[in-house]
Structure formats: C-alpha cells, structure tokens
Amino acid sequence: MNSQHIAGKGYLFIVSGPSGVGKTVLCNAIVAKYAPAVVYSISTTSRAPRGGETDGQEYNFCTAEDFEQAIGRNEFAEWAFVHGNYYGTPRQFLTDNLNIGRHVILNIDVQGAMKIRCEYPDSVMIFILPPSFEELESRIRKRNMDSEGSLLHRLENARKELDYREQYHHAIVNDNLDEAIKELSRIFKSYLNAASV
C-alpha cells in the first residue's frame, strides 16, 4: 500500500500498456463493478468525434484553439500533441474527485503516466501486458483498423512501452480476459478497503 496516500482522499489508478492489450475493456469492467466509488477520467481532445462517439462519454471534444487556451491556463495534469491532435487529462476532474474520496481510473500511455505520477506521486500504477509480443501483434492485426505502416508504428511503440514495466507497482498479463479482470479487481479491492479503514 502506498505510504504517501492521504487518508480520506481517493486513489488515482493509472492503467497503461501497449495498444491492443485490452486496457479499455479492463478499465470499463472495473468502473462497472465499483461505480460510483470509482470513476473513469475522460480525456480532452481536439480531434473530431469518430462514429458513435459522444462528447463527455469517450472524450471531451474541443477545438485546437480552446485546447491551447486551456494549456495556457495550466488546466491539464498532462497533455500531448499526437498525430496532429491534442490530448490531455483535465486536472480539475482528478483533483475534485480525489478530494471527496472518490477513486479515479486513468487509462493512459506510459509517457502521460510518468507526467501524472510527478503531480500525483501516490498514484497506483498498473501495467497491462500481453501474453507475448506475437499475441499482441495478432490482436492488433485482427482489429484491422490500421494500414501496414501504422500497424508497424504501433508495434514499435509497444516495444518501447514494455520497457516501462518496472516503473509500475503492479503488472497483469491479459492472457485470459476473465482472469485479468479478477486480478485487476483484487488490486482495486485491496486499495479501496484500505481507503475505507
């Protein structure tokens, strides 16, 4: 358990892992199980919504100009410019929820996770691993969402992200989804129980 954690405050759970490893499914399962004690941090982005996405659901959507103004006001705990669009984690959402004792789950890449950890040093860091790199490549190919060039870029990024594994408190191999959900749930429960003592 994290000795830096302040009693009465919620825990910030940071979940990272390479693209295609199943982070979103795992995070959604945890929120469904522990809501309203656990809430999902929704990122802000300047990119346009994709088919079926709703503002405030998958992302908070805004213009690039609005995002840049928010950067100027220091409203993001972390932000990045990726593939021509801005993505960021609103600081106010994290702080407001943590201060009232609600736990926040944040699904974020490793670079963003390192930045968040600097601001929230008592964050609980959880890394999701594929059973093997070959299995990860197979999953990404089955999605069939990327060009070959884009797919190779994702795989290269995945190799780099796996090097960060040692920076995290917990690691879960998502070989069997039900087992991975159970393991993630056990981790959450241990912190939630500690917070309620």
Q: What is the pLDDT along the chain (197 residues), one digit of tens a residue?
A: 555 677 789 999 999 999 889 998 999 999 999 999 999 999 999 999 988 889 988 899 999 999 999 999 999 999 998 878 999 999 999 999 999 999 999 999 899 999 999 999 999 999 999 999 999 888 888 876 668 888 888 888 889 999 999 999 999 999 999 999 999 999 999 998 877 65
Would residue 159 count as lying in a domain? yes
Give the per-residue SS3 of the chain: CCCCCCCCCCCEEEEECCCCCCHHHHHHHHHHHHCCCEEECCCEECCCCCCCCCECCCEEECCHHHHHHHHHCCCEEEEEEECCEEEEEEHHHHHHHHHCCCEEEEECCHHHHHHHHHHCCCCEEEEEECCCHHHHHHHHHHHCCCCHHHHHHHHHHHHHHHCCHHHCCEEEECCCHHHHHHHHHHHHHHHHHHHHC
Would residue 96 count as lying in a domain? yes
Would residue 125 count as lying in a domain? yes
Cα distances (angstroms) measured from residue 159 to each of 129, 168, 188? 11, 16, 27
Would residue 157 count as lying in a domain? yes
How many domains does the chain fold into? Answer: 1
Domain that holds residue 191: 12-196
Q: What is the pLDDT of residue 189?
A: 94
Q: Which of 69, 24, 26 is nearest to 46 (CA)?
A: 69
Q: What is the pLDDT of residue 33?
A: 95
CATH code, 132: 3.40.50.300
Would residue 5 count as lying in a domain? no
Would residue 1 count as lying in a domain? no
Would residue 48 count as lying in a domain? yes
Would residue 102 count as lying in a domain? yes
Lookup result for tokens 């981790």: 187
* Global pTM value: 0.89
| Separation of CA 140 from chain center | 18
